Amino acid sequence: MSPDSRSRWFPVLGLALSVGLPACSGGDTDSIRIGAALPLSGKHANVGGFFRDGYQLAVEEANAQGGVEIDGVRRPIELRIYDDKSDASISPSLLERLIAVDGAVALLSGYSTPLVQAQVIVPMRRGIPFMNAGGASKSIFREGNQWVFGALSPVESLASTTLEWLMWEQDQERLPKPLRVAMVWQNTDHGREYRTGVHQVIEGQTDRFELVLDESFEHLSSDHTSLIVKVRSVEADVFLSDAHEPDFLLQHRAYVEQGLGHVAVSYGARGPERSVREGLGEAVSHLVSAQWWTRALPYAQSRHFVERYEAQFGGPVTEYYPAVAYEAARALIAAIGNAGSTDAEAIRDALQNLELDDSLLPGGRLYFPEESRFQIENRCVIVQNQPEGGVRIVFPPDAAEGPAYLGS
């Protein structure tokens, strides 16, 4: 026999090695374990960190109050987090590990629609409650979904709230009718749903809006100049783009370089992030964005979160990520408490019936409607970047801190 053929048994060795290891991981049997696979390294590392902070804060708060009561005994919550390196093929196997090896009774999501889309297969297959705070796309919530709960409103609501704001400004006679709208969107589910949201509003409102550009762009494109030249050529009043941060930075830079101007410019949910102001400075003043949460929301629970978060991690908190993550974890823990059990179906039923009246999300209430496959449908808030930094709520009117600045 050649050395080659002798080595035929090595794979078995490798297999034995890789299977023998996961068995050795225990922990405090007293606590109730929940878990998450987050992008703590790789391309979403910065956002993954916000999620970790938000989740941890909610768990610490719950434990400070003695944990949750299960079968009459109060038990602490233990949060276990793994790093999926922003990789959609590693993420599901880490969730399997959380369930099978670590004994997690429920899971919290990672961040970004593609990663969450890959993750939800696992809880749906295993029948484990999964709380999603990181993917807004409707496509995550499949038909017949029982296990996946969404604490982030659909992407469409970003678009529809933005247009509702424009209509409100028209009613105040601060904007003309019809408005010429140029819209570009990233060629993913996120972008497509944004586009759907815009179309849904515009279709019934032809006297108010005229869509003069409707085009997709490549996510993570290396240069956006040509796209911006196209936007300029249609001479619109309003420029709407649904972009994630990398594309937003390059697109808006090209926008300024090419000397464009609109009465309102919005890049979906982008704008208030601290990194954005550091990178583009004054050029981001007056950008309008739709937010799932913002610091200035006038609810007691929201103020409480801001205080706690900023005391622990420094502030001001400019991103919505930690707030939504905190709220999602809080909702999950509340549901476990309501269920009074660690049984997956009991927790699921409790989530389906959950209703929080002290939510920090816009609207102040949190529940998961069955009609939308258990994804919340709260409206967004519209904020505008201020020249001196920070943002101001401009819509809805009952939360608005002042009128919007509408550019030339």
The answer to whether 233 touches 260, Cβ cutoff 8 Å, is no
Interactions with another protein, residue window 94-123 (CB under 8 A):
94, 96-97, 99-101, 113-114, 117-118, 121-122
**Quick one: 232 or 379, whose CB is closer to another protein?**
232
Chain centre distance of CA 198: 19
Interactions with another protein, residue window 19-78 (CB under 8 A):
19, 21-22, 40-46
The answer to whether 166 touches 179, Cβ cutoff 8 Å, is yes
Q: Does 173 bind another protein (CB under 8 A)?
A: no
Provide the sign of the torsion angle of the four alpha carbons 330, 333, 339, 345, taken in this order. positive
Q: Least CB distance from residue 213 to another protein, whole Å? A: 12
Which of 225, 341, 372, 386 binds another protein (CB under 8 A)? It is: 225
Which of 93, 200, 206, 312 binds another protein (CB under 8 A)? It is: 93
Q: Does 356 bind another protein (CB under 8 A)?
A: no
**Quick one: 17 or 73, whose CB is closer to another protein?**
17
Residue labelled with tokens 């050529």: 233
Q: Least CB distance from residue 73 to another protein, whole Å? A: 27
**Quick one: 145 or 338, whose CB is closer to another protein?**
145
**Quick one: 100 or 300, whose CB is closer to another protein?**
100
Interactions with another protein, residue window 256-295 (CB under 8 A):
256-259, 275, 278-281, 283
Q: Least CB distance from residue 216 to another protein, whole Å? A: 7
**Quick one: 92 or 337, whose CB is closer to another protein?**
92
Question: Of 56-64, 182-190, 235-243, 336-344, which part binds another protein (CB under 8 A)?
Answer: 182-190
| H or E stretch covering 75 | strand 73-75
DSSP state of 270: B
The answer to whether 368 touches 351, Cβ cutoff 8 Å, is yes
DSSP state of 403: P
Q: Least CB distance from residue 45 to another protein, whole Å? A: 4
Helix (H/G/I), strand (E/B), else coil: 129:
coil
The answer to whether 397 touches 168, Cβ cutoff 8 Å, is yes
Which of 33, 75, 85, 348 binds another protein (CB under 8 A)? It is: 85
Q: Which residues contact 235 (CB under 8 A, 6 or more apart)?
A: 180, 212
Joined together, the tokens standing for residue 122 give 């696992």
Helix (H/G/I), strand (E/B), else coil: 360:
coil
**Quick one: 105 or 400, whose CB is closer to another protein?**
105
Measured CA to CA, the distance from residue 288 to residue 263 in angstroms comes to: 10
CA distances 241 to 70, 169, 208, 236, 311, Å, are: 47, 19, 19, 13, 35
Q: Least CB distance from residue 40 to another protein, whole Å? A: 6
Q: Does 7 bind another protein (CB under 8 A)?
A: yes
CA distances 83 to 25, 37, 38, Å, are: 17, 6, 5
Interactions with another protein, residue window 183-202 (CB under 8 A):
186-190, 192
Q: Least CB distance from residue 403 to another protein, whole Å? A: 26
